[in-house]
Amino acid sequence: MNNPELTTYEKYVNPLQAKLLKANGVEKTFIKAEGHTLTYKNAKGETGSIIDCLCGYGSLMFGHNHPRIHDTVKDFLNNKTPIHTQFAPRPITARLAERLSGLAEKYLDEDYVVRFANSGAEAVDLAIKHAEFQRVLKVQELTKKLDQKFNDLEARWNDGEVEIPGELFAETELREQIFADTLTPGELRGYISRLNSVALSSRPIIFALKKAFHGKSVAAAQMTHNETFRRAFLYFGMQTVFIDHEDLSEIEFIMDEVSQTFYDFVINKKTNQISLVEKDYPAYTAAIIEPIQGEGGIHAIPGSTLRDFRNICDHKNFPLIFDEIQCGMGRSGTLFACQPHDVAPDMVLFAKSIGGGVAKNAAVLIKRANYEDAFGIIHSSTFAEDELSASVALTVFDMLEEDEGAAYERATELGNRLMEGFRELSRKYPGTIKEVRGIGLMIGVEFFQDVDADSAVVRLVSHHNRLGYSLFSYLQEVQGIRAVPTASAPSTLRLEPGVTLTDDEVDTIIQGFEGLCKTLYYQDSYQLLQHVGNQDRSSRDHKIRDYRRDEVKQKRAHYKEKSRVGVPKIGFIAHVMDPVNISDNDPALERLTNEERAGIYNANNVTIMCNAPSVPKRITASFGKEVDVQFYILSRTASQVLGDLNGPGLDDLREAIYDTALQAKKDGCTAFGLGMFTSVVTNNGKALPRVPGMPYTSGNALTTGMGFKAMQEATEKTGKQLDGCTAAVVGGAGNIGQVYSALLAERVAHLMLVGSGRAGSVKRLSRAYHRVYETLIETIRKEGKESLSGLALDVANLTSVQDFIAELGDKDMPKNTGKDVATLIQQEFGTDPFVTVTDSLATIASADIVVCAASASEPFVGSDIVKHEAVVVDIGVPLNAKQDVKDRHDVTYMQGGLAKLPFQQEMTETVKNLPHGTVYGCVAETMLMGLSGSGRNFSFGDITRKQVKEVTALAESYGFAATVPQTRGL
């Protein structure tokens, strides 16, 4: 049951985010917020509440809807106080600025003016604009002064007071180009301008830190480290250098590399001698730092680093900006996060909590000594300095500062209690929490991502760096705690509650996290998934059970032990067959109903993900050769994949398959098998871009070859000879069906090609019918008739056919060969006695062998039309034969295309639900590509009878065999 409000949000606001919420099973909307309690209503109309620790991305230092802030807003509105009086003094804004400036004086011992903005990113823009404006003014000052000197010099030179020696440039890059002993003032101006053009045309540099987040406006995004947010906008041209805060030598190195010189000159008043002067050019706009990084995963920058930056900025004369949008406003236990470190920046930024949870506001404090008055016009905004926001902010500062800063102390106390609780959990449930970081109410709990976890769910999300989103979903939906990871630190849950959080709430939060840690510790993925795609939670089983097996890790250790160089590895991609199979590799999920399993897949329709590659399985073949097999499983079901085939998702699906092939290449694979429907949706590999050194195969040749062999042997076991049998191919128009028909035509007495009865099926079948004769003539010409029996031998013995072949001589086979031979036979016999084409399924009642090769979504071949003691080979996906055929004791039924591994080796622990010692023919064919190291595609696009024979022979030479049912009715 979907939440209609989320659907509207998806359609009109943010489709991707809505889909991600759905995929993670978090669909509820919130209808009331008070303190840290969010009340929700779910799709069934039921209400409930959760504890919010996301708190407006850390913008609610006093929780949601604090009564004092409400009173401030109500009074303001009741008094009809002007909110917008642009171009007039704004008394409340002025008071707020005075207050903030006073607080900065008190805590940072520095005098600032305050400018306002509407959001964090806008505050960042404002600050960087001011810094760059200041830098450009410095450059202008340099060039203006130089220009004045040129004029002055020219006047004096005209009066014969000074001489300009060419030697002036002896130490510069121009030394090779100036030969004159003396220069004119115009020449001097030209040469110096040329030297200065290098500095003047250079782009300024901004220094920021790795893991930094400063917002997503065009400018702020350029200073945000996560490439996802900034890559597309690099051409806008800002130049940010990201420094590792643990290694500031980098910044010195960069400064050495990019430092620029500005040339100027002086005239000695006494001697009238002129000399060149080199000055440092202002090449840096600013350095911007979050004293405690937030979005990057909660990382406190050491005070010593902040002070080092202060020294660098002082030394090179460019401003230091502290972005305290997230860590400031008391969150870290002091008003300014930088306060304890005894360092005052040139600018400090506040946003988020300054709005008291109701207003959008931001403040930029700029050192008065640096502030450029002209900037008052350079930068402004309609809504900045609105009086309502200022009024709210004044109340917020009252609340922070009163009772001798009790709020700051509470932030520290609450933060410590929470962090102690989390650290205790990390000791109690080892392997779950990796690190607890934070200061005050800025807390990050980082979890281990584990691609070798027992839970397939944990492996999948860890492999895709998305563990945190599953944990968020579980915490919110099951434990009623809201803590979300960030895009830049997806395995860290961030908690930024406000100081009004109660002690009881702290206990509940820790209890909720305990449930999470226990779930992870016991690998109970049922708990992680039970709510996804299933809004009805009444049937939930909350008991966390122990599913630890240490299976994958042991396999990995075992594989490492025996891994040696030189063993080729192949990759094989497959998908989940049916939602039911989700529990095949994750027993915890057996507790989900079939409906719930389907719901999970339907909900997760956003991105196509491939699980972490399986631990390779080593298979030994004949000649002592070995090959490692590594599986890649797409988290999509057969019906989703087929849906993609005929829908808009086809390109995405192919891209996901191609990406997996690239991944397999990176993982060292030398061949790539397209399993299950991945071969169908890629036209057996042809629709995929190729990967160098990585041939593809659909595995269809060996699947067909092994199936055919098994059928042959099974028929002989029933006491019949193939050359006395009638065989029917149902759905013979497809590639595999056609190849089966061609192979059968070489053996059986009579062949029937049976259509599906759908429009055009007889036409498609007639093409397959002609192909049977075409292939037969080709075989007779190339190989003679020795190996033939049944109808093939009868046809080869016809005089008309022998004449036809004789007439061809050495020529290439004409295009219509199949059709011509069919016509010859029809003319000779009236109707074709060897091969029958029919649209009537009932005719299979006379067939001793039935090959089912139709693409149909439901089984349709029933027991009533299957002959007594028939051999039925079902290669349809999904299967064509109904259950009653499989149940018949006289019928030998087999699923076509399995291969027996050499030396009775087992793969059933990797590929489930197969008879012991067997594997799918397509997997075996991929192994053969690895074993033979041929480097070429095997089954690629349509396969031929010849390929089937070659690959089957190769398989046999490596010790693979066909699997023949031991008893009827297998």
Residues that bind ligand F0G (CB under 6 A): 57, 119-121, 124, 213-215, 290, 294-295, 323, 325-326, 351, 486
**Which lies closer to ligand F0G via its Cβ, residue 323 or residue 450?**
323
Q: Shortest approach of ligand F0G to residue 764 CB, angstroms? A: 57
What separation, in Å, do the N-terminal and C-terminal C-alpha atoms of the chain show? 41
DSSP 45: S
Q: From CA 793, how far away is CA 482, in angstroms rounded?
A: 76
Q: Shortest approach of ligand F0G to residue 584 CB, angstroms? A: 38
* Of residues 238, 237, 264, 243, the one with CA closest to residue 255: 243
**Which lies closer to ligand F0G via its Cβ, residue 365 or residue 954?**
365
User: Given CA atoms 169, 170, 171, 173 in this order, what sign does their dihedral have?
Assistant: positive
Q: Shortest approach of ligand F0G to residue 324 CB, angstroms? A: 7
Query: Residue 724 in contact with residue 715, Cβ under 8 Å?
Result: no
**Which lies closer to ligand F0G via its Cβ, residue 488 or residue 932?**
488
Q: From CA 267, how far away is CA 275, in angstroms rounded?
A: 7
**Which lies closer to ligand F0G via its Cβ, residue 188 or residue 325?**
325
DSSP 203: P
**Which lies closer to ligand F0G via its Cβ, residue 24 or residue 947?**
24
Q: From CA 447, how far away is CA 435, in angstroms rounded?
A: 7
**Which lies closer to ligand F0G via its Cβ, residue 57 or residue 521?**
57
Chain centroid to CA 637: how far?
Answer: 19
**74: which residues sit within 8 A by CB, 6+ positions away?**
none
Q: Shortest approach of ligand F0G to residue 351 CB, angstroms? A: 5
Q: Shortest approach of ligand F0G to residue 408 CB, angstroms? A: 19
Q: Shortest approach of ligand F0G to residue 438 CB, angstroms? A: 14
Among all chains, which residue has been given the structure tokens 């830098």? 135
**Which lies closer to ligand F0G via its Cβ, residue 351 or residue 501?**
351
Q: Shortest approach of ligand F0G to residue 517 CB, angstroms? A: 24
**Which lies closer to ligand F0G via its Cβ, residue 286 or residue 634?**
286
**Which lies closer to ligand F0G via its Cβ, residue 323 or residue 387?**
323
Q: From CA 98, how far away is CA 391, in angstroms rounded?
A: 13
Q: Shortest approach of ligand F0G to residue 220 CB, angstroms? A: 6
Q: Shortest approach of ligand F0G to residue 230 CB, angstroms? A: 14
Query: Residue 279 in contact with residue 262, Cβ under 8 Å?
Result: yes
Among all chains, which residue has been given the structure tokens 């800002």? 238
DSSP 568: -
Q: Shortest approach of ligand F0G to residue 11 CB, angstroms? A: 24
CA neighbours within 13 Å on the CB side: how many for 230? 23
DSSP string across 863-904: GGGSPTT-EEEE--SS--B-HHHHH-SSSEEEES-EEEPGGG
Q: What Rg value do the Cα atoms of the chain yield, rounded?
A: 39
**Which lies closer to ligand F0G via its Cβ, residue 310 or residue 352?**
352
Q: Shortest approach of ligand F0G to residue 484 CB, angstroms? A: 9
Q: From CA 325, how far away is CA 352, in angstroms rounded?
A: 6
Q: Are strands 484-486 and 489-495 parallel, antiparallel or unpaired?
A: antiparallel
Residues paired with residue 482 on neighbouring β-strands, in sequence order: 52
**Which lies closer to ligand F0G via its Cβ, residue 124 or residue 384?**
124
**Which lies closer to ligand F0G via its Cβ, residue 120 or residue 512?**
120
Q: Look at phi and psi of residue 523 and say left if phi exceeds 0, alpha if psi is from -120 to 50, else beta.
A: left
**293: which residues sit within 8 A by CB, 6+ positions away?**
209, 211, 212, 213, 299, 300, 301
Q: From CA 209, how far away is CA 130, in angstroms rounded?
A: 20
**Which lies closer to ligand F0G via its Cβ, residue 475 or residue 478?**
475
Residue nearest to ligand F0G (CB): 120
What element of type H or E holds 182?
strand 182-183
Q: Shortest approach of ligand F0G to residue 261 CB, angstroms? A: 35
**Which lies closer to ligand F0G via its Cβ, residue 468 or residue 959?**
468
Query: Residue 839 in contact with residue 758, Cβ under 8 Å?
Result: no
- How would you list the strands of the sheet with 835-838, edge to edge? 835-838, 750-754, 726-730, 849-852, 871-874, 892-895
Whole-Å CA distances, 362 to 122, 263, 325, 356, 528 = 8, 41, 8, 11, 39
Q: Shortest approach of ligand F0G to residue 328 CB, angstroms? A: 9
| Neighbour tally for 379: CB within 10 Å | 17
Q: Shortest approach of ligand F0G to residue 314 CB, angstroms? A: 24
